[in-house]
Amino acid sequence: MTTQVALSNVGKTFPASPTTAALHALGPIDLELQRGEFFAVVGPSGCGKSTLLEIIAGLTPATQGSVEFEGRRIAGEAPDSIGVVFQEDASLPWLDVTENVAFGLRRSKLAKDERDARVRDALRLVGLSDFATSYPAQLSGGMRQRVCIARTLVMQPRLILLDEPFGALDQQTRLLMGDELLLMWRATGATVFLITHALDEATMLADRIGVMSARPGRLIDVVETNWPRERDSRIVERSEFGAITARLWKTLREESLKTIGRAVPKPAADA
């Protein structure tokens, strides 16, 4: 295993604006992502998960600490070979599905055949082959999100960051999308960094799960699942599945209560 991403002492404080005070949103965080692993992050809302993702992606600079991607420092510019799937719909409504997926390849030096082949493969992988000529407006929210996943895949990134990509989907679809995500992860060999608010999703998908505290978000626990690389949603039937999810919840419960502004109940209530 080699380290692909190294965060050391990373933090983010948003500066004060005329209407708001300065906000310490994140950190300090130390974290290393191993090449090819599937890392999930869970944490109460507003704890800085998206901020952490944007720092790794080079979309926003950390105000403290250092971030390295494949040995190079990231400083406010998106490095090559990182792909991001955002929480919001980022499909381009004026392009059809094929053009959307090929969007990032336009300026690449690939031959046209190779480009078309990549787009076709990516569409097959996300199950959208039959919708190649549809426009995003004709698709459901989940399908649009898959368009964005395919658009990321064709770039063949070595690190894929996903910010609650299935947030808007129902439970069954989410489980199936999870299966597809695992397929992609194995097929591409890329490192996956997934933010999710669903604990069972994190447990089912990841090799390791980072649990974040309430804002400013720090890592308060990192749980290893020890799942085999060949796995799918049937993993939820294993006894360890319940145990891991329970451990995540136990750690998160206090933190979540903090964010909704409720006092943490006395330990006696847990017994």
Partner 1 sequence: MKRLFLYRLAVVAGAIALLEIFCLTGVIDKITMQPPHLIARDLYRLLASGRMNGAIWKTSTNTLLALVLALGVGVVAAALLHRLRALRDTLDPLFATYYAVPVFAFYPFFIVVFGLGDLPQILIAFMLGVVAMIVNTLNGLDRVPPVLLKTGRIMRLTPIDTALRLTLPAAGPYILTGVKLAVAYAFIGIIGSEFILSRGGIGYEINFAYNNFDNATMYPLIVLILLASIAINTVLTRWEKTLLARRGAR
Ligand X SMILES: Nc1ncnc2c1ncn2[C@@H]1O[C@H](COP(=O)(O)OP(=O)(O)O)[C@@H](O)[C@H]1O
Residue 112: how many CB atoms within 10 A of its CB?
8
Residue 224 corresponds to which tokens in the numbers above? 């290893």
Q: Which of residues 175-204 bind partner 1 (CB under 8 A)?
A: none
Using CB under 8 A as the binding rule, whether residue 89 contacts partner 1 is answered as yes
Angle at 63 between CA 61 and CA 67, to 5 degrees: 60
Task: Report CA dihedral (187, 192, 194, 199) to the nearest 10 degrees.
Answer: 70
Q: Which is nearer to Mg ion, 204 or 212 (CB)?
A: 212
Least distance in angstroms from the C-beta of 260 to ligand X: 13
Among the listed residues 12, 9, 1, 156, the one whose alpha carbon sits nearest the alpha carbon of residue 68: 9
Q: Contact with ligand X (CB under 6 A): which of 11, 27, 33, 49?
A: 49
Using CB under 6 A as the binding rule, whether residue 45 contacts ligand X is answered as yes
Distance set, CA 38 to CA 17, 99, 189, 245 (Å): 37, 29, 10, 16
Least distance in angstroms from the C-beta of 58 to partner 1: 8
Strand positions, DSSP E, 15-77: 23-34, 38-42, 64-69, 72-73
The residue with its CB nearest to Mg ion is 50
Least distance in angstroms from the C-beta of 43 to ligand X: 6
The number of residues that bind ligand X (CB under 6 A) is 12
Between CA 145 and CA 30 the distance in angstroms is 30
Q: What is the DSSP string of 182-251?
A: HHHHHHH--EEEEE-S-HHHHHHH-SEEEEEPSSSB-EEEEEE----SS--GGGGGSHHHHHHHHHHHHH
Residue 56 corresponds to which tokens in the numbers above? 């790794």
Site string for ligand X, 208-237 (x = CB under 6 A): -------x----------------------
Task: Report how many helices (DSSP H) and strands (DSSP E) the chain contains, helices first.
Answer: 7, 10
Q: Which is nearer to ligand X, 82 or 102 (CB)?
A: 82
Q: Contact with ligand X (CB under 6 A): which of 5, 31, 47, 211?
A: 47
Site string for ligand X, 5-44 (x = CB under 6 A): ---------x--------x-x-----------------x-
Site string for partner 1, 139-178 (x = CB under 8 A): ----------------x-----------------------
Q: Contact with partner 1 (CB under 8 A): which of 86, 131, 166, 193?
A: 86
Using CB under 8 A as the binding rule, whether residue 83 contacts partner 1 is answered as yes
List of residues contacting partner 1 (CB under 8 A):
54, 57-59, 78, 80, 82-84, 86, 88-90, 92-94, 103-104, 106-107, 135-138, 155
